Amino acid sequence: MKGYYLKKVLSSLFVLFIIITLNFFLPRMIFSDPAQPYYAGVPEDALALREQIREANGFNDPLIVQYLKYLGRVFTLDFGESHYYKDSVWKVMFSRIPWSMVLTVSSMLISITFGILYGAVAGKRREHAADKVLLWLSGVTTAIPSFWLALVSVMLFAFTYKIFPYRGAMTAGYTLSMNGSLFLIVLAVGVVLSVVLKLLSKKNLCIFIGVPVSLTAALFASVPLADIVDVAYHAALPVMISVFSGIISYALLVRNSMIAVTGEDYILTARAKGLPAQVVLYKHTFRNALLPLITNVGMSMAGLMGGSVLMEKIFSWPGMGQLLLDACNNGDYLLSQAILLLFAVITVVCNFITDLVYHKFDPRVKEV
Amino acid sequence: MNVLEIKNLKILFRVGDDFVRAVEGVDIHVGEGERVAIVGESGCGKSVTGLACMKLHTTPPAYITADKFEFVSHDGTPHDILAKTENEMLALRAEEMAMIFQDPSTFLNPVMTIGEQLDEVFIYHMHMKPKEARRHSIEMMKKVGIPDPEMRAGQYPHELSGGLKQRILIAMATSLSPRLLIADEPTTALDVTIQAQILQLITERCEKEKMSLLMITHDLGVVREMADRVYVMYCGKIVEEGTVDEILTSPRHPYTKALIDTIPGMEEKVDRFVQIPHNVPHPMNKPAGCYFSNRCAYCTDLCRAKQPPLFDRGNGRKIRCYYEVEELWEK
Amino acid sequence: MKKVFGYILSALRAIGKFLWKIITHPKGRVGVILVGIVVLAAVFAPYLTPYQLDDYDIAGGLAKPSAEHLLGTDKNGIDILTQILYGARISLIIGVTTGLCVTLLGATLGIVSAYFGKVSAAVILNIINVLLVIPTTPLMMIMSNLSSSYVMMIAIFTLIGWCGTARMVRAQVLSIMNMNYIRAAELSGGSKTYIMFRHIMPSVSHLLIMNCALSCAGFMIAEAGLSFIGLGDPSVMSWGKILVAAQESAFTSGLWAWVLAPGVAIFITVFGFMQIGYALEEIMNPRMKRKKDVKRQGIAPEAAAEAVFAEMTDISEDEALALKQEYVTGGRSHECARN
């Protein structure tokens, strides 16, 4: 068990090392002069001044020295300043992460909830119309690019019928007037309350429900209601489109694994024990059928902060995907380096969490 | 008095637009405290019959009919199994009839602890609180000879050996002392040394709880140990019925005789193993006439023309063959 | 020379047989027809439309669909249908080339990792593990800055996309190697390479052909997406790029055909490839064979079951005895069949 995790940690570190190395070499392959972004405002013929800038930023050092210096900066979490936004890379990124999460977290929660429900219904009764519709939909939606679906719905709902806005996350700008300290206070109170409740009742459910509830409460307490409504109004269309394909893919996963588990021998044992059909379904079939879902959700969790580039581009949503796209187009490589590294770290961490959670639910893996 | 009485049971499975004829008119009865065995090669419909007694088949794909399908519970009321709804069956399963399955490693839920799976029986049938149920579970585990039951209750199935898992399944099936215990090849997946222990345990449990036993097996050795009366099944039909001594010492159907001859003897050394030629016919492709005709050493044109009925030869002896034993041995 | 000719002939015959199987399969037929239409459109694009991709006509820009321009025109007055026909070329080239490259690379590495020693397996599996964790879309966005040509896009797709195929092939090879017939071949002295080509390749190749069709479909969608966010070659027309232009101007002018047409084109192509893939899966996996439904033949399964139940009735003992008497005395042959 310990050996398994040690191996996992080592391979994760190896992945991060490769990403850091790529981060270092890619800009030096893309730009003929990697110091290009530093020359802002310096005329092309001011060679002496340019040389001075190169020297000052260490671009004249041997490559290996530059590489080691870059490694040092990564380990001290110093990503420098974005040339385009003229601000610290950290600040730029953190102004965008919440926006990506608004879209991805809400659409993922809705997709998982309804996907499981739909999949359970379809898997329980295979001859049922719900099952046939699901199979048909999944056959068709995999052949339709989701961004085209988004374009069509924008044209339909935002332009032809003008029900939803077509761009941005808020009517003006993308800065929420948020009372940070109030948010933290409410959140802390909520979390402490749910932990106390858990200790009193000894039910994990208290944590699972308590934390999200206190998070929502903190949001509603610290942000003006009008702003929340405004954001929800802007997010409605992109969320609906992601949810559409999300529900179908989760439902198909749950359906297939429900059918596989229903044929297992231990379901027969459970029925022979004389357990009511509902108990067989929820305690035996469902619990085993949801195992593949854990891996799947874990994988897509990594995309939570990354957001969806296509959706963000179509709706001009100020998220991380859009930020990375702009950084690539502007040659703002210090920013894109940091974003890529952040994504890699998130992916590695999410993989780790998925493994832990999976082990908790499926005791058989412990022997790996 | 009969605990279970089945007359003319027929079971079909729908596969595409065709039907597999799994069981074709079987009469079985199990008396109170009696130990009955159904013997046959794999695919002859014996397990399907066992599952039908508990009404564990779902329709579709299974279609079941019978002239009589009666089970008498502890309090003496007869139940028509075929007419019962799934909800009505719940009260009968585990309390009145229970089943032990073939492969203990796949018949236990891998993500629930042994204790949780045993508790369920007490929680849903006796309406016990979890703690009380666990006390009963541990008591049951002691009864089936599991060492250190408190520790085992917290373990998962993959942490137990095959023999222990089978003991757990026996504990689960016998915990409410049902009237009828159906054992579907309970020793097939186990080591030879464990097999004897498990059979011993089943016998003990049956005697102590005064349960009737319906043993489904392909092993004639198991039959000799465990049964009073035997049904020999072939291709979904019963071909011979009689007491265990009669069947094993003087078989009267060519199939039964062939089956007994295939057992390698311990005493004499043989040059060749005795085999029954060919394989069991595919259930979609059974021969015309007698189903055993293509493998039978004594087969005649009559056998190939028409399926013989189950002749009643008196004293509870029934044989599905046109010929008396003397006629056969003459050939 | 004659031998080579014979090989080619038998290979052609095998391919023909295979194509016939796909065409006679209901899903395969749909797929072949859809893909066929797109391929014909791509090949004969210059003959199917009187316009060129550089026929600027600013005055006739943003035209609604008409007899001259079946799907209307864009901002610069270029015919949308022409753009779609030429766009089919890039979509097919990228999809099929990438699908083939990914399948080839994945199959080679998958087989090598499963069959040739522990060292190669360890190296390849570690590379796969790294590739699975690397966030692919952002990496692709950054790497496409290296060069915007479509060769680059195919290279990046291949470099990142092979690991799925490799894992599948590896699993399949490992499971085949555990089969008894491979053990038998090893015991009877077959060399490793012989077993590889004679026994393992045939059972993997089916899987590969199917996987290739499905990954072609997948990469076509990916290509459209990347072109849409502006990472494609600016000098070549592609469906993703038509949609970018449409997002800029079609919405406000209500030109529905401009938005719908590229999507429908993508759907037809991808759906066609997927149907071919599913058809191959069903042809090669006999367990998945489609069965006709009883209900469709007009008989309820319950009634059909009743009819089968009725067939099962035994004759009575008296009837049987009479029958036996007839055989014994009635002169009908009553011989023992065997011995």
CATH of residue A279's domain is 1.10.3720.10
What residue numbers bound the domain in which A282 lies? 97-177+224-318
Cβ A145–C251 below 8 Å, yes or no? no
Residues A165 and A251 in one domain: yes
Tell whether the model's pLDDT for residue A205 goes beyond 90.
no
Tell whether the model's pLDDT for residue A45 goes beyond 80.
no
Over residues C1-27, the mean pLDDT reads 83
Q: Which residue of A has its CA nearest to C246?
A: A151
User: Is beta strand B62-65 parallel, antiparallel or unpaired with respect to B180-184?
Assistant: unpaired
Query: Least CB-CB distance to A265: which of B91, B107, B172?
Result: B107
pLDDT at B43: 77
Q: B215, B227 in Cβ contact below 8 A?
A: yes
Residues A63 and A114 in one domain: no
Residues A258 and A274 in one domain: yes
Residues A143 and A40 in one domain: no
DSSP string, C121-138: HHHHHHHHHHHHHS-HHH
Residues A146 and A244 in one domain: yes
Torsion of CA A268, A272, A276, A279, to 10 degrees: -50
Query: Least CB-CB distance to A266: which of B90, B93, B108?
Result: B108
Residues A230 and A302 in one domain: yes
Query: Least CB-CB distance to C141: which of A19, A154, A328?
Result: A328
A151 within a domain of the structure (yes/no)? yes
CA–CA gap between residue C154 and residue C145 (Å, rounded): 14
Tell whether the model's pLDDT for residue B271 goes beyond 70.
no
Query: Least CB-CB distance to B302: which of C291, C293, C323?
Result: C323
Question: What's the gap in Å between the CA of C180 and the closest CA on chain B?
Answer: 21
Question: What's the gap in Å between the CA of A121 and the closest CA on chain B?
Answer: 18
Of the residues A31, A64, A94, the one at which a domain ends: A94
DSSP H/E element including C83: helix C80-115
Q: A258, A285 in Cβ contact below 8 A?
A: yes
Beta bridge partners of B213: B35, B181
Residues A115 and A63 in one domain: no
Cβ A143–C217 below 8 Å, yes or no? yes
- Segment B2-59, tens digit of pLDDT: 888 888 888 888 877 777 888 888 888 888 888 898 988 877 888 888 888 888 887 7
Over residues B242-261, the mean pLDDT reads 83
A324 within a domain of the structure (yes/no)? no
Least confident of B165-169, B189-193, B207-211, C78-82: B189-193
pLDDT at C293: 42
**Among C94-98, C118-122, C133-137, C144-148, which range has the highest average pLDDT?**
C94-98
- Segment C190-210, tens digit of pLDDT: 777 788 777 777 778 778 888
Mutant choice from C133, C243, C302 vs A, greatest count of A C-beta within 10 A:
C133
Contact residues on chain B for C315, CB-CB shorter than 8 A: 306-307, 309
Residue with the two structure tokens 């893939």: C277
CA–CA gap between residue B95 and residue A274 (Å, rounded): 8
Of the residues A42, A73, A94, the one at which a domain ends: A94
User: Is beta strand B229-234 parallel, antiparallel or unpaired with respect to B237-243?
Assistant: antiparallel
Half-sphere exposure of C291 (CA within 13 A, CB side): 12
Pairs across A and C, CB distance < 8 A: 115
Distances (CA, A) of A314 to A93, A246, B164, C225: 20, 18, 61, 11
Residues A246 and A166 in one domain: yes
Question: In a 10 Å sphere around its CB, with 0-12 CB exposed, 13-18 middle and 19+ buried, how is residue C41 labelled?
Answer: buried
- Report residue C53: phi and psi, to 5°: -75, -10
Tell whether the model's pLDDT for residue B150 goes beyond 60.
yes
What percent of chain A lies above the pLDDT cut of 90? 5
Q: Where are the alpha helices (DSSP H) in chain A?
A: 2-30, 47-56, 63-75, 89-124, 129-141, 146-153, 180-201, 205-222, 225-262, 265-272, 277-279, 287-289, 291-301, 303-306, 309-314, 320-330, 333-361
Contact residues on chain A for C145, CB-CB shorter than 8 A: 26, 30, 328, 331
Contact residues on chain B for A291, CB-CB shorter than 8 A: 111
CA–CA gap between residue A88 and residue A265 (Å, rounded): 59
Over residues C149-161, the mean pLDDT reads 86
Confidence of residue C337 (pLDDT cuts 50, 70, 90): very low
Tell whether the model's pLDDT for residue C266 goes beyond 90.
yes
Q: Is the link from the previous residue into B254 a cis peptide, with omega within 30 of 0?
A: no
Q: Is the link from the previous residue into B61 a cis peptide, with omega within 30 of 0?
A: yes
- Segment A355-366, tens digit of pLDDT: 888 887 887 765
**CATH number attached to the domain at C27-297:** 1.10.3720.10
Structure tokens at C227: 């072109």
A200 within a domain of the structure (yes/no)? no
CA–CA gap between residue C63 and residue C41 (Å, rounded): 23
Residues A126 and A158 in one domain: yes
Structure tokens at A229: 């409504």
Confidence of residue C299 (pLDDT cuts 50, 70, 90): low
Least confident of A149-153, A174-178, B18-22, B290-294: A174-178
Residues A130 and A82 in one domain: no
A344 within a domain of the structure (yes/no)? no
Of the residues A94, A109, A142, the one at which a domain ends: A94
CA–CA gap between residue B116 and residue B156 (Å, rounded): 10
Residue C305 near chain B (CB below 8 Å): yes
Residues A26 and A163 in one domain: no
Q: Which residue of C has its CA nearest to B21?
A: C308
Beta bridge partners of B232: B39, B240
The residue among A16 and B265 whose pLDDT is bigger is: A16
DSSP H/E element including C178: none
Cβ C308–B306 below 8 Å, yes or no? no
Cβ A266–B92 below 8 Å, yes or no? no
Cβ A336–C230 below 8 Å, yes or no? no
Which amino acid, A109? L
Contact residues on chain C for A139, CB-CB shorter than 8 A: 274
Residues A113 and A241 in one domain: yes
A25 within a domain of the structure (yes/no)? yes
Residue C317 near chain B (CB below 8 Å): yes
Contact residues on chain C for B14, CB-CB shorter than 8 A: 294, 301, 305
Tell whether the model's pLDDT for residue C217 goes beyond 80.
yes
Query: Least CB-CB distance to B302: which of C304, C324, C339?
Result: C324
Residue C251 near chain A (CB below 8 Å): yes
CA–CA gap between residue B291 and residue B297 (Å, rounded): 13
Distances (CA, A) of A27 to A64, B112, C140, C144, C148: 15, 52, 14, 12, 15
3-state DSSP: chain C helix, strand, coil percent, rounded to 5?
75, 0, 25
- Segment A278-322, tens digit of pLDDT: 888 888 888 888 888 888 888 887 777 666 888 888 888 888 888
Query: Least CB-CB distance to C332: which of B17, B24, B301?
Result: B301
Mutant choice from A328, A330, A343, A352 vs C, greatest count of C C-beta within 10 A:
A328
- Report residue B26: phi and psi, to 5°: -115, 135
Cβ C143–A143 below 8 Å, yes or no? no
Confidence of residue C339 (pLDDT cuts 50, 70, 90): very low
Cβ C293–B12 below 8 Å, yes or no? no
Structure tokens at A86: 């003229």
Confidence of residue C102 (pLDDT cuts 50, 70, 90): very high
Q: Which residue of B has its CA nearest to A363?
A: B111
Q: Number of structural domains, chain A?
A: 2
Cβ B93–A276 below 8 Å, yes or no? no
- Report residue B154: phi and psi, to 5°: -90, 0
Confidence of residue B266 (pLDDT cuts 50, 70, 90): low
* Cβ-proximal residues to B234 (8 Å cutoff; 6+ apart), any chain: B40, B41, B44, B255, B280, B291, B292
A13 within a domain of the structure (yes/no)? yes
Q: Which residue of A has its CA nearest to B176?
A: A273
Residue C263 near chain A (CB below 8 Å): yes
CA–CA gap between residue C1 and residue B278 (Å, rounded): 48
Cβ B309–C332 below 8 Å, yes or no? no
What phi-psi label fits residue B76: left (phi over 0), alpha (psi between -120 and 50 degrees) or beta?
Answer: left
Tell whether the model's pLDDT for residue A191 goes beyond 80.
yes
Neighbours of chain A (3+ CB pairs under 8 A): B, C
pLDDT at A1: 64
